[in-house]
Chain A
Amino acid sequence: MIEIKNLTKKFDQNLALDDISFSVEKGEILGFLGPNGAGKSTTMKIIASFWLPTSGQVLIDGLDASEDSLSARKKIGYLPETVPLYEDMRVFEYLKFIAEIRGLDKSKTKNRVKEVVSICGLNKVLRQPIEELSKGFRQRVGLAQAIMHSPDILILDEPTTGLDPNQIAEIRDLIKTIGREKTVIFSTHILSEVSATCDRVIIINCGKIVGQGSPAELADKYGGLEQAFRELTV
């Protein structure tokens, strides 16, 4: 579903990604681990077509993300680390805008917005201005935005930061439900979340992949996920 080949990204003289390659199968939930500044967000931004790589290739369902960018983008739902919300809009205005700009049929828009609202539990805040929402609801609106066009691929950059344990559990369940049919890549700092949701984990440090495998494999090899993380990234 997603194939990353020899991805390198430089910012001026800074090497943010150094020759990264991996692939994600259809229906797989992939967890991205790594310290801050390791290159997780950079990788996700490149997959989502926000940045072009300095070199290397991203294939989305066989489509080259830099040459066939528009078709590739249609298959992706992306939730950046800073949740991209237009503060002065109301929740339903925002979701309607997303549905329209994503090119959903007019006849389907209303039903799809309703569906997404119920999946993400936004019924109570529909008429509220986004600037008045709590962090948990903001995150959910962001997620609703990402799944609006029923994309095959979901890219979620730290979807649970700043949430309380209940909200984290909710978002985690949501990712699991969505991940049954879709390919999901998400990054996180919470290791227990990884073992609870991911089929596979990739650990990145300093722009390089330093470890990968299923959570159980990694835990076995290093005597726990936390040990694996510490050993591979310090």
Chain B
Amino acid sequence: MKKSQYLKTIYILFKKELMGYFNSPIAYVFIGVFLVAGNWLFFNTFFLAASASMRSYFALLPWIFLFLSPAITMRLWAEEKKSGTIELLLTLPITDWQVVLAKFFSALAFLSISLLLTLTMPFSIAYLGNLDLGPVVGGYLGTLFLGGSYLALGLFISSLTKNQIIAFIIGLTACFAAFIIGADFVLAGAPGSLAPIMKFIGLGSHFNNIARGIIDTKDIIYYISFIFLFLWLNVRVIENRAWK
């Protein structure tokens, strides 16, 4: 297959998947809840702290995304299996990688759109005080990578089941585990030799670096590998039709 044709097919699928979000009311509910909850929780303490920074917001986002991401990915495979459309999708002359990539990037695009709508915050804060841009850019970048990792993991879990609710709950649990495993209070209780490994594996520890405004290639490579690993596992499941 030619490269341009390969990408074009991904794009056609991507477009269809992204439309799928906005064809149903779920997308608007998600975005609404996400914006209201995020803004409220942040501005609740913002004026008390009286500092022009978004740090507490970026500390909050991983927890909001923990619920949002599996909710975005739960239906991506589970629904295709339940409704039987998977038989169409996987007998089209396209590769399994193309399908997985299209689904992943459509979910990422949806998450990015919700994130884009929070840009009102840095603008308001910059108007109120002296906002340091570095941590803001880093915060958004880190959130995007963290969100992408949650999505890749959630998408993989959706490929294992026909049931959206199960996909959501297991996805949430898995994302939570992957996020928390590198957190300080978990490491404090971990055996000494395991702690550095756990810190490296955890999605959260890498996020903290980027959100502080320190953009290290190591962290970026870590996230990209994490995403790739779960997309690859996803392709394996789809190839083998290995779902219950």
Contact = CB atoms under 8 A, between A and B. Distances in A.
A85 interface: yes
B12 A70 contact: no
B88 A145 contact: yes
B23 to A, nearest CB: 4
Interface residues of B, number: 24
Contact of A84 (B9, B12, B83): B83
A101 B83 contact: no
B78 interface: no
Interface stretch (B92-100, B114-122, B228-236): B92-100
B interface secondary structure, majority: helix
B5 interface: yes
Interface string B1-14: 10001000100110
Interface in A57-75: 70-71, 73-74
B23 A89 contact: yes
A80 B88 CA distance: 8
B85 A86 contact: yes
Contact of B87 (A82, A86, A97): A82
Given A88-B20, A88-B23, A103-B5, A73 B93 contact: yes
Contacts of A101: 9, 12-13, 16, 92, 94
A186 interface: no
Contacts of B241: 50-51
Interface residues of A, number: 28
A44 to B, nearest CB: 10
A50 B92 CA distance: 9
B19 to A, nearest CB: 8
Contacts of B23: 88-89
A140 interface: no
B159 to A, nearest CB: 15
A45 interface: yes
Interface string A12-52: 00000000000000000000000000000000010011110
A48 B89 CA distance: 11
A81 B84 CA distance: 9
Nearest to A99: B12
Contacts of B84: 80-84
Contacts, number: 66
A78 B91 contact: yes
A89 B24 CA distance: 10
B12 A100 contact: yes
A175 to B, nearest CB: 19
Contact of A48 (B9, B86, B91): B91
B197 interface: no
A115 interface: no
B33 interface: no
A230 B16 CA distance: 46
A48 B86 CA distance: 13
A87 interface: yes
Nearest to A76: B91
Contact of A88 (B24, B93, B95): B24
A71 B93 CA distance: 7
B54 to A, nearest CB: 36
A102 interface: yes
A80 B87 contact: yes
B91 A73 contact: yes
A78 B91 CA distance: 8
B113 interface: no
Interface of B: 1, 5, 9, 12-13, 16, 19-20, 23-24, 83-95, 241
Given A70-B93, A93-B19, 14 more contacts: A49-B91, A80-B84, A80-B87, A82-B83, A84-B83, A85-B85, A86-B16, A88-B20, A88-B24, A89-B19, A97-B12, A101-B12, A101-B92, A103-B9
10 tightest A-B contacts by CB? A82-B84, A84-B88, A80-B87, A73-B93, A84-B85, A88-B23, A74-B93, A48-B91, A100-B12, A70-B93
15 contacts: A49-B90, A49-B91, A73-B91, A73-B92, A74-B93, A78-B91, A80-B84, A80-B88, A82-B84, A88-B20, A93-B19, A97-B16, A101-B13, A103-B5, A145-B88
Interface of A: 45, 48-51, 70-71, 73-74, 76, 78, 80-89, 93, 97, 100-103, 145
